Amino acid sequence: MKKVTLFLVVATMFAAFSVARGTSVATPTVDGVMTMTTAGTHWMVIPLLGSGIATIDWGDEIIDTVFLIKDKWFEVERHFDADQQNPRTITIKGKNIIGMYSHRNVLTALDVSRNNKLIKLWCQENQLTVLDISKNSQLQVLYCENNQLNALDLSQNVELVELWCANNQLTSLDVSHNKILEILGCEANLFTADALNALFDALKDNGKETQTIDIRNNPGTADCDVGIAEAKGWIVIH
């Protein structure tokens, strides 16, 4: 029988208590499922934003069930002893989860394709080589810097406002479908001058004075034509 721990959150304070083995606990439906695989770590922290019940299956017969309150981040934490620091897949279920932060959790894989309500995602400083956000059409904020991504498909993310993808292995980026994008941090990738010019061509002028793109430390930074972006009202950090 799996061990289940139930957390009750009231306003900004919370109290934790255990549910006896065998007690029936309501679980969310299968929509809103997210999975992540870690290479192994001694400590994981996964803040969640949303409402209602969410469950976290740690992949070792331990499940935490939490109640999320709207507009309040809840930090789910787990300490692993030395003999537990092995690769594992963690499954999070919650039909109303709109934000997740999984930073420095030594992730080698992350699947958010079954949570189409996701608005904010932080997954920076991991070991991700692939990130599929094609099913997350409501995504507004994405932090995925300091991974090992060599491609990022943004064609379905029409609500995207902020994208931080620095320190990856990207050689191109198509933002032609991201008409309300305001912040783009793509420094320290592998963009040539031609790739950067193509990126500038695809940028939209959404009338915001804060439109900013950071292209520092790319192979083509010195030779690209920043005037293409500046003519559209973008501040280019180079």
Looking at residue 95, its amino acid is K
What are the tens digits of pLDDT across the range 129-160?
999 999 999 999 999 999 999 999 999 999 99
User: Is residue 91 predicted with pLDDT exceeding 70?
Assistant: yes
The predicted pLDDT at position 127 comes to: 97
Count of helix runs (H) and strand runs (E) in the chain:
2, 16
- Give the helix/strand (H/E) hosting 220: none
User: Is residue 20 predicted with pLDDT exceeding 90?
Assistant: no
User: Is residue 35 predicted with pLDDT exceeding 80?
Assistant: yes
Residue holding tokens 């995925």? 144
The predicted pLDDT at position 87 comes to: 94
What are the tens digits of pLDDT across the range 115-125?
999 999 999 99
Q: Quick one: average pLDDT of 79-105?
A: 94
Q: Please report, for the chain, the start and end positions of each structural domain, with discontinuous segments joined by +.
A: 1-94, 129-238
Helices (H), the chain: 193-202, 227-230
Q: Model-level pTM?
A: 0.87
Residue 129 in tokens:
């080589």
Please state the CATH superfamily assignment of the domain spanning residues 129-238 in this structure: Ribonuclease Inhibitor (3.80.10.10)
The predicted pLDDT at position 51 comes to: 97
Tell me the pLDDT band of 46, cut-offs 50, 70 and 90. very high
Q: Name beta bridge partners: 45.
A: 77
* CA pair distance 141, 139, nearest whole angstrom: 6
